[in-house]
Structure 1
Amino acid sequence: MFRHSIRTVLVGLCTLAAASQAVTAAVAADTPTASDQTASVAVRPLNPQTLADLATAMKGEAFAYASYNLFAAQAGREGLSRVAVLFRSTARTELNEHFREAAALAGVVGSNEDNLREAINGESYEHETMYRQFAEQAGTDGDAQAAELFAELAADEGHHRDAYRTALSVLTSGHGAIPAPPRADTVQVPAGPIQVKSARTKANLDTAMHGEALAYAKYMLFAAHARQTGQPALAQLFAGTADVELHEHFAGEAVLAGLVGITKENLRKAIAGERYEATTLYPGFAAQAMAVGDISAARYFRDTAADEARHAAAFQQALDRLR
């Protein structure tokens, strides 16, 4: 994944419950989950610093998944099918192994009602505060396109919040129907330059992209839990909203941020990020987790660091073949 600033997790979207419903006993026993399983809760409460490090890991892994899929599409446009396959397979590892294992340790998935409340809090924050503030700042800084996009996304998040509120009312009251899922207006993200001029707008786009990628990954976990607990309509709502967050919101922000370059540039970016995580970020997290006795988390950080080193080597080999 990419190196990124360690930010405070978006309100509501990354609130880590110390105790939530166990969904897979395998993770609680320190056995990695299969790709189609949802996250479960660690047996022993984790140290707050470990939880913060897991939150950082989840945000980064979700961002890597979203970005690598865009890089894969660009490689395909350039006729580099092997590189496209490499990016896609690495993206799957980041989401289906690294993100989900971190989410399991952190106890991200709760009951359907708890998952809806967390989603409502996150969508409310983005609708009422974050995107409105970003839109105002972009307008002030002369980034009209970004201001328009942020304002549009603020409205979207309000619709998501309202749908989740209705769904929560249905579950708690036993009356009514779960809203139909929204449909994503998919945005294509070809290689291109950054389209904003303000450093503040660029930073806000980065924050927003990380948040949207995280929302996608978490909502997909919530959707899987809803399916497993006999709530298919709720699963569809979570999954449909996740698609909007990734294929419309994240993608639209990625265009303005100039996230995607030509494949050689994308590979260099990926190599730098994977090496940083393999040599610095995750080893540091592992040491902190060991120091407070969070053995399972330390093992996760060490194993993930080893995976990221292999990813860096594979990306370097792919880049060398293009020279």
Structure 2
Amino acid sequence: MFRHSIRTLLVGLCTLTAASQAATAVALAVPLDHHRATRTAARVLHTQTLSDLTAAMKGEAFAHASYTLFGAQADREAQSAVGELFRTTAQTELNEHLHEAATLAGTVGTNAANLRQAIDGETYEHQVMYRGFADQARQDGDLEAADLFTEIAADEGRHRDAFRTAFTVVTTGRGTIPAPPNADMVPVPEGMPKVKAARTKANLDTAMHGEALAHANYMLFAERAQQTGNPELARLFEGTAGVELHEHFAEEAVLAGLVRTTKTNLDKAITGEHNEATTLYPGFAKRATAVGDTAAAGYFRDTAADEAKHQAAFQQALDELH
């Protein structure tokens, strides 16, 4: 997996949000006693540990989204085994690594708390982040990126409004949860960046990380809504998650030139996994150990070991590539 972030939780899932939600967070798919223990641990996690867990979530979400696209490119090159390797690794990053980090950080709360996180994130992206990115891209002559950022800003405003309506329904019991948006599947072929300014490239990277993390967290929020008997809210979160990944992330990936040849994609994956296995996660583990956050330290160590295995698998695939 690689690193940097992203977006709505660039936004709603920043470290301070994670810290504030931790007090009421509900871990998913765990027994009640363990759930209570996890919430207690989340309440007392050191600020740096929470920050590192958020960074881990951003990286894992971005890896999931990127590896999914890399898998599709491998299929186009008739490298089906490599495509499957990318897809299975993507699922590990999302369904194991990110999920475990979210549980430790107390990311998921009540339906109302989850909606508030989503509203805050979408508001920031609608009013501040994407509008600012559009202005900068226009100044730098990247007009296609400016148009995309403007379009996504409008989408995020609609997402915010839908979540606001849902929040009223959840907190008052009156009204109807909005229908979920429909995501258009945007293909991401191999290609070079379509923007020229370094600032636009950096903003695209930030935006892609944000969209990937928004997708991941909204899927967690959807799971929570289903668990609490609110399928309409679950569908709203799932539909919005689909837009973030299959439209926003994909459109940004096209402009950024994220997907290259399978050989290049494997090289990139190997570099990312090596950094996580040898530097990023061991550093997180060391900091967590120093402040007594032993559960988080164990998670970071275990994830580092997994990433080393991913690196080895990608290296083998590259060595065998024909």
TM-score (norm 2): 0.94
What pairs up with 1:1-80 in 2 under 5 angstroms? Answer: 1-4=1-4, 10-14=10-14, 15-16=17-18, 17-19=21-23, 20-26=25-31, 29=34, 41=39, 43=41, 45-80=44-79
Distance 1:118 1:8 in 2: 9
Which residue identity is paired with 1:43?
A
User: Residue 43 of structure 1: SS of its match in structure 2?
Assistant: helix
Deviation for aligned residue 1:174: 1.1
2:206 matched residue in structure 1: 207
Which residue identity is paired with 2:230?
Q
Change (3 A) 1:23 1:311: closer
- Provide Cα deviations, 1:241-261, integer angstroms capped at 9, x if missing partner: 000000000000000000000
Distance 1:27 1:189 in 2: 42
Deviation for aligned residue 1:8: 11
Distance 2:40 2:52 in 1: 15
Which residue identity is paired with 2:2?
F
Distance 2:3 2:22 in 1: 27
Deviation for aligned residue 1:13: 3.3
Are the aligned partners of 2:6 and 2:211 in contact in 1 as well (CA < 8 Å)?
A: no
Deviation for aligned residue 1:25: 3.4
2:241 matched residue in structure 1: 242
Identical columns (%)? 68
Are the aligned partners of 2:9 and 2:213 in contact in 1 as well (CA < 8 Å)?
A: no
1:161 matched residue in structure 2: 160
- Provide Cα deviations, 1:228-283, integer angstroms capped at 9, x if missing partner: 00000000000000000000000000000000000000000000000000000000
Deviation for aligned residue 1:171: 1.2
Distance 1:140 1:180 in 2: 37
Unaligned regions of 5+ residues in structure 1, if any?
31-39
Which residue identity is paired with 2:214?
A
Deviation for aligned residue 1:141: 0.3
* Mean Cα deviation higher: 218-227 or 16-25: 16-25
2:176 matched residue in structure 1: 177
User: What count of residue pairs does the alignment treat as equivalent?
Assistant: 314
Are the aligned partners of 2:3 and 2:58 in contact in 1 as well (CA < 8 Å)?
A: no
Unaligned regions of 5+ residues in structure 2, if any?
none
* Mean Cα deviation higher: 168-177 or 277-286: 168-177
Change (3 A) 1:66 1:299: same
Which residue identity is paired with 1:21?
V
Are the aligned partners of 2:8 and 2:211 in contact in 1 as well (CA < 8 Å)?
A: no
What pairs up with 1:1-323 in 2 under 5 angstroms? Answer: 1-4=1-4, 10-14=10-14, 15-16=17-18, 17-19=21-23, 20-26=25-31, 29=34, 41=39, 43=41, 45-322=44-321
- Provide Cα deviations, 1:93-122, integer angstroms capped at 9, x if missing partner: 000000000000000000000000000000
Are the aligned partners of 2:6 and 2:207 in contact in 1 as well (CA < 8 Å)?
A: no
Distance 1:124 1:233 in 2: 22
Are the aligned partners of 2:6 and 2:210 in contact in 1 as well (CA < 8 Å)?
A: no
Are the aligned partners of 1:3 and 1:272 in contact in 2 as well (CA < 8 Å)?
A: no
Which residue identity is paired with 1:10?
L
Distance 2:68 2:312 in 1: 19
Task: Select the structure that is richer in helix.
Answer: 2
Distance 1:118 1:10 in 2: 11
TM-score (norm 1): 0.94
Distance 2:153 2:4 in 1: 24
Q: CA RMSD in A?
A: 1.8
Distance 2:5 2:172 in 1: 42
Are the aligned partners of 2:4 and 2:55 in contact in 1 as well (CA < 8 Å)?
A: no
- Provide Cα deviations, 1:181-207, integer angstroms capped at 9, x if missing partner: 000111100100000000000000000
